[in-house]
Amino acid sequence: MFKKLFGREDPTNERKDLTTEDLIVLERWDEAILQLQARIQANPLDLHAHLKLAEVHLQSGHPHRAVDEYVFVADSYIDDGFYDKAIALLGKLTRMVPGDAAIEASVRKAQQLKDLEHRSTMALEGLLSSQEERNPLARLSLIEAQQVWQSLSTTEVVLRLPGEQLRRLFASSTLIEPEAGEILVERGSKVEQLYFFASGEGEALLDQADGRPILLRTFGTGDILGDRSLLEHQPWPATYRITAPSRIFKLDAAGLEKALQGNPDPRLLLDALRSRRHDHDVAAAVRKLVASPA
C-alpha cells in the first residue's frame, strides 16, 4: 500500500493507478473529485458516487457543494420509496444548513410519503381482511382493494385517520355494491347503519304529498351517511337513493363495536365519522321544508 501511494518507481502510472480512496487518504481532493465526477457522468444515478463526492467536498472545505450532492441523493431516495433513508440524510442536512426552507420542505415531503405508504398498507390490510371474514366469496382481489384505496386516499375522512384507524374502519365494515335506482334507506327508518361511499353517487330525497320528491342533496366518493343513525340513534331524516353503480362501506353497530374495541384513540375515529355531518344538514333542510307553509 505504501509503495503504491508513495513509491516513485513508475511516476507516469502513479495517477491512473490510484483509486478514489487512495486520493482521499492522500488528501488530493481535486483529483478525487475528478474521478467521482467521471463516475457520475457515466452513471448519473450512482448514488454511492454522489455520497462520496459530498464527503470529499466536506473534507476539502466546500460544504455548500456537499449539500447539493446530499439533496440529490435524498430526492432520489424519496423517488425510490426509501423514505427512512431520505429522512435520515435530510436530518443530517438540517444540522448542516439550519433553517433552509427547501431542505425542510423535503423532510416534510418524505415524512408525508412515508406516512401515506404506512396508511396504504394498513388500509389494504383492513380492506382484504374485512371481506374474507364476512363473506369469503366476495373477497376483494388485491388489485380491486388498491383501486378502492386510490379512490379514497385523498378524501377528507381518510386523511384525518392514521393507518391503524383505517385498518380498523375497513376491517369492521362490509362492502356493498348497490346499483342505480336502489333505495339505500327510507325516511324514518330506525336502522342503525353508517354508509361510506368508496365510489358512485347517491341522493337524499323528501317525498311530497303529490308524490314528487324534493332533491335535498347529492353524495359521492368520500361522503358518509348515517352518522346520526349509528352514533346518535336518530331516525333517518330522508330517503337515500343510489343514482349510479356504487361501492359503499356499511358499518353497523356490531362493526362499530369491533372498531372501537381496544382502540387506543376511539374519539379520533368517531370524530372522523362525524366530520362530514351530511345527515345533520339534510335533517335541517327537512325541518325547514316541513315547517314551511304549502
CATH number of the domain that 84 lies in?
Answer: 1.25.40.10
Last residue of a domain, one of 98, 127, 156: 98
Mean pLDDT, range 226-235, rounded to an integer = 95
Q: For the ranges 130-134, 200-204, 232-236, 284-288, which has the lowest average pLDDT? A: 130-134
Q: Of 238, 227, 240, 239, give the one whose Cα is nearest residue 269.
A: 227
Q: Does the residue 152 lie in any domain? A: no
Specify the amino acid at residue 222.
Answer: G
Confidence of residue 11 (pLDDT cuts 50, 70, 90): very low
Share of the chain above pLDDT 90, in %: 69
DSSP string spanning 53-83? HHHHHHHTT-HHHHHHHHHHHHHHHHHHT-H
Q: How far apart are the first and last CA of the chain?
A: 101
Instruction: Please count the structural domains in the chain.
Output: 2
Residue 132 covered by a domain = no
Residue with the bigger pLDDT between 141 and 59: it is 59
Q: Does any domain span residue 35?
A: yes
Report the mean per-residue pLDDT for the chain.
88
Q: Grid coordinates standing for 281?
A: 344538514
Beta-carbon-side half-sphere exposure of residue 151 (alpha carbons within 13 Å): 18
Residue ending a domain, among 42, 73, 98, is: 98
Q: Are residues 71 and 177 in the same domain?
A: no
Q: Is residue 125 part of a domain?
A: no
Within a domain: 176: yes
Q: How confident is the model at residue 22 (pLDDT cuts 50, 70, 90)?
A: very high
Is residue 224 situated within a structural domain? yes
Model confidence over 152-166: pLDDT tens digits? 988 999 989 999 999
Which residue reads 430526492 in cell numbers? 75
Strand, coil or helix: 183: strand
Residue 146 lies in a domain: no
Q: Are residues 182 and 276 in the same domain?
A: yes
Q: Is residue 145 part of a domain?
A: no
Same-domain pairing of 193 and 286: yes
> For the domain that residue 233 is a member of, what is the CATH number?
2.60.120.10
C-alpha distance from residue 137 to each of 6, 66, 132, 253 (Å): 75, 57, 8, 23
C-alpha–C-alpha distance, residues 87 and 185, integer Å: 48
Domain that holds residue 201: 169-291
Regarding pTM above 0.85, the answer is no
Work out the average pLDDT over 205-215. Answer: 88
Res 251 pLDDT > 70 = yes
Within 8 A by CB and 6+ apart from 227, the residues are: 194, 273, 274, 276, 277, 278, 279, 280
10 Å Cβ neighbour count for 289? 13
Rg (CA), the chain: 30
Cell 372522523 -> residue? 272
Which residue among 39, 66, 98 closes a domain?
Answer: 98
Q: How confident is residue 136, by pLDDT bands cut at 50, 70 and 90?
A: very low
Residue 81 and residue 181 share a domain: no
